[in-house]
Amino acid sequence: MDQSNDIQKLVQRKRRLVRHLGKMKSSLPDLLEHAFDRYYETQTRLYIKAEGKAFRFEELITGLEREVEDVDGMGSLRLVAGRVNYVADQLDALESTVYKRARQRRRIAFNLADFFEKFSNGNSPSKSRQEVSSLTEAYEILDLEEGCSLSQIMTAFRKLAKKYHPDAHGGDRSSEAELRRVVEAYQVIKESFA
């Protein structure tokens, strides 16, 4: 009984995603028509740019529709839904340019404080500091020399956090251990500045 409910939820969510993708795809002809009417004669470059992006969006949306059809589990569906939301945000940015209006969708910005909170409140598999044993090791993990500035530390941390974050690997969590080490190394160094 429980498995049939899971399958039913999966089918419902897949249908919602397909409808959302269909709405996005159906908005493209209107966008192109508006861009043609408004910009073709006066701002040809803007029209050509909008047209190229619209065709790329159509290809992306078609690919995402195929991905949704092939999904066989909720985890995979969440990953595809994340990509759908990203494409929707990018399409909204194009629409705001073409229609000369404020963006309707706002992506949630990467919040470093939330990131630290997630990894420091026991939500990560290593609840205690086991990954980094010394300040020297923390600097080595971030590939920095001791005594560098806080801005250099932040830059190195952000670069490595982006490199190892699951979103940078299509949701693959295989580099999560490295990400934990980077976060912990940054926290060790930050505490040494306090």
Asked whether residue 96 carries a pLDDT value surpassing 70, the answer given is yes
Asked whether residue 116 carries a pLDDT value surpassing 60, the answer given is no
The second-level CATH assignment, the architecture, of 112-193 is Orthogonal Bundle (1.10)
At 128-139, the pLDDT tens digits run: 445 688 888 888
**Residues whose CB is less than 8 angstroms from the CB of residue 126 and which lie 6 or more positions away in sequence, other chains included:** 180, 184
At 97-108, the pLDDT tens digits run: 888 887 766 555
Is residue 68 exposed (0-12), middle (13-18) or buried (19+ Cβ within 10 Å)? buried
Among 190, 179, 111, smallest CA distance to 152 is for 190
Domain boundaries, the chain: 2-98, 112-193
Tell me what the pLDDT averaged over the chain comes to: 81
Among left, alpha and beta (phi > 0; psi -120 to 50; other), residue 122 is: left
Higher pLDDT, 131 or 47: 47
